[in-house]
Amino acid sequence: MGKKHVSSGPDNFNRRDVNKIAVTSALSGISIPYVHAADGNDPTRLALIGCGGRGTGAVANAITASKNSIPVKLYAMADVDTDRLYQSHASLAGQRARPEIKEACDVPKERQYIGFNGYAKAIDTLRAGDIAIFTSPCAFRWVHYKKAIEKGVNVFMEKPLTPDGPSTRRMFALNEEAKKKDLKVGVGLMCRHCEARGELFKRIQDGAIGEINMMRAYRMQGPVASCRTKKNPGNQSELSFQIQNFHSFLWLSGGAFSDFFIHNIDECCWMKNDWPVEAQAIGGRHYRGDYIDQNLDTYSVEYTFSDGSKLFMDGRNITGCKQEFASYAHGSKGSAVISSASHTPAHPRIYKGQKIEKIWRRPNQPGLVWKWNKPEPNPYELEWKHLLDAIRDNTPHNEVERGLKSSLVTSMGRMAAHTGQVISYDQMLNLKHEFGPTNDRLTLKSNPPILPDADGKYPIPQPGILRDREYQA
Ligand SMILES: NC(=O)c1ccc[n+]([C@@H]2O[C@H](COP(=O)([O-])OP(=O)(O)OC[C@H]3O[C@@H](n4cnc5c(N)ncnc54)[C@H](O)[C@@H]3O)[C@@H](O)[C@H]2O)c1
């Protein structure tokens, strides 16, 4: 077990002197020893759980951000898939890895864990104050979070946090325990850490566009990642097949809807500074051919806030159609671009009327009142800097409640489309149908919660027929 040290305040952090400094309570003036795991000679340990694309990227972001905060090193890795773990390790610590990343990786074979219980072993290598990184599909967040809380370690977890109501309730309850232990928890809705959007938020709250009446968000793209899947060719177990294609299966990810659209929905709710109370939606499946996933190909959701204002979210996964990945807000005195194309850079802007110029670079835009004029630092690194600084300074940092509300509101829009019903926030939260109630008991030999029929097809949404659940397993 590692040494326990006292953290510095924000202004004079010195990695070597970290043991000597104490945090002073604003109330009493008494020095309170705050424990974080590491100093410059023995950095904060990271345990990566879910070693795919995002997990590998998150480790690199953490190491890069640590240059301006507390030092970190990757200390343990866990995955259910041996190849994924090895590939991730090779890209972070192999011959072609960036030297500054490689230097911060120390994961010998004995700290590489394969299997559904690997997360527990990886977390057990951490000390209080170290960080567990959850970048598996969201089906396992509550399983992994429970263990991290028991162990008393900080967490970075990717979005979405949950695919359904019951797991959201469970995560809310777990998070109360995390708050009691004052664990620092970052959630991978990185756009919330974007400085340019942050400035737009302040201006909107200060009345720059008046009251927001309507927002629009678009994630219209071709079929990306594993949102469309053909039948299991039979050369791997059903569970491993579904995990590898997790965007296709609602129990694992909330489907393409939750996994992709959550960012735009979340940034709009941020600007509105509120969460919608209900949703109605439509959607359809087209050109299915041999594809057997549970997703619809088009979604159009109308979210309603308690003041009656609306957020319209359009999502599509079809090639050859108009593509757009952006969010807009319309207010009583003007309008705003929240994001222009993809996550970053966002190029937020404010216009006097309702007419928005979509090409952010275009000079002499009529009605342009404000735009972010500086470079936009990478929000994937900023979210890590903010987490590491909070650990260093012992400042409150728990993004789970916000991440859960965002995940739930996203599921609410998806369920409205999948059932053809109006779904309220409370209904979604209190839903009985849980997609993966036994996700904490899976082994490499288990069956997943849904299985294909004799034709290799899975249960799909049936709007108007199945009204209280999104599919019948
Ligand atoms: N914030 C963002 O912009 C962003 C971008 C991409 C992905 N993500 C999120 O990150 C998560 C992972 O996405 P990805 O693109 O890296 O997928 P991926 O398939 O590349 O990686 C997921 C990894 O998790 C592993 N895994 C699955 N179940 C596991 C378990 N129970 N225990 C341990 N490992 C397990 C898989 O084998 C795989 O290696 C998703 O929730 C996704 O939404 C976020």
The alpha carbon of 295 is separated from its chain's Cα centroid by a whole number of angstroms, namely 20
Averaged over 205-219, what is the pLDDT? 98
Residue with tokens 């190491």: 63
Instruction: For residues 198 and 191, give the distance between their C-alpha atoms in angstroms, rounded to a whole number.
Output: 9
Residue 33, pLDDT score: 40
Residue 88 CA, closest ligand 1 atom number: 39
**From 56, 87, 158, mutation site for ligand 1 pocket: most ligand atoms within 8 A of C-beta:** 158
Instruction: For residues 155 and 129, give the distance between their C-alpha atoms in angstroms, rounded to a whole number.
Output: 9
Q: Give the tens place of pLDDT for each residue, 299-339.
A: 999 999 999 999 999 999 999 999 999 999 999 999 999 99
Q: How many CA atoms lie within 13 A of 194 on its CB side?
A: 27
Separation of CA 406 and ligand 1 centre (Å)? 18
Contact 336, 209 (CB under 8 A): yes
Q: Is the pLDDT of residue 445 over 60?
A: yes
Residue percentage of the chain with pLDDT more than 70 = 91
Separation of CA 123 and ligand 1 centre (Å)? 17
Contact 254, 294 (CB under 8 A): no
Residue percentage of the chain with pLDDT more than 90 = 91
Q: Of the ranges 11-20, 198-207, 408-417, 456-465, which one carries the lowest mean pLDDT score?
A: 11-20
Residue 88, pLDDT score: 98
Specify the DSSP element, H or E, that contains 185: strand 185-187
Residue 5, pLDDT score: 31
State the chain's mean pLDDT as an integer: 92
Question: Whose Cα sits closest to atom 31 in ligand 1?
Answer: 116
Separation of CA 137 and ligand 1 centre (Å)? 5
Averaged over 365-373, what is the pLDDT? 96
Question: Whose Cα sits closest to atom 21 in ligand 1?
Answer: 52
Of the candidates 406, 410, 437, 424, which has an alpha carbon nearest to the alpha carbon of residue 167?
437
Q: Is the pLDDT of residue 24 over 70?
A: no
Residue 393: φ, ψ to 5°: -95, -5
Contact 40, 15 (CB under 8 A): yes
Contact 169, 431 (CB under 8 A): no
Q: Which residue has the higher pLDDT, 68 or 9?
A: 68
Pocket of ligand 1 (CB under 6 A): 49-55, 78-81, 84, 116, 118-119, 135-138, 140, 158-159, 188, 190, 243, 259
Q: Give the tens place of pLDDT for each residue, 118-163.
A: 999 999 999 999 999 999 999 999 999 999 999 999 999 999 999 9
Averaged over 73-101, what is the pLDDT? 98
Separation of CA 57 and ligand 1 centre (Å)? 11
Which domains are assigned to the chain? 5-191+381-398 (3.40.50.720), 195-377+408-441 (3.30.360.10)
Instruction: For residues 69 and 66, give the distance between their C-alpha atoms in angstroms, rounded to a whole number.
Output: 5
Q: Give the tens place of pLDDT for each residue, 162-207.
A: 999 999 999 999 999 999 999 999 999 999 999 999 999 999 999 9
Instruction: For residues 171 and 187, give the distance between their C-alpha atoms in angstroms, rounded to a whole number.
Output: 13
Of the candidates 157, 109, 150, which has an alpha carbon nearest to the alpha carbon of residue 132?
157
Separation of CA 135 and ligand 1 centre (Å)? 4
Specify the DSSP element, H or E, that contains 389: helix 379-393
Question: Whose Cα sits closest to atom 27 in ligand 1?
Answer: 136
Question: Whose Cα sits closest to atom 40 in ligand 1?
Answer: 137
Residue 343 CA, closest ligand 1 atom number: 3
**From 54, 89, 263, mutation site for ligand 1 pocket: most ligand atoms within 8 A of C-beta:** 54
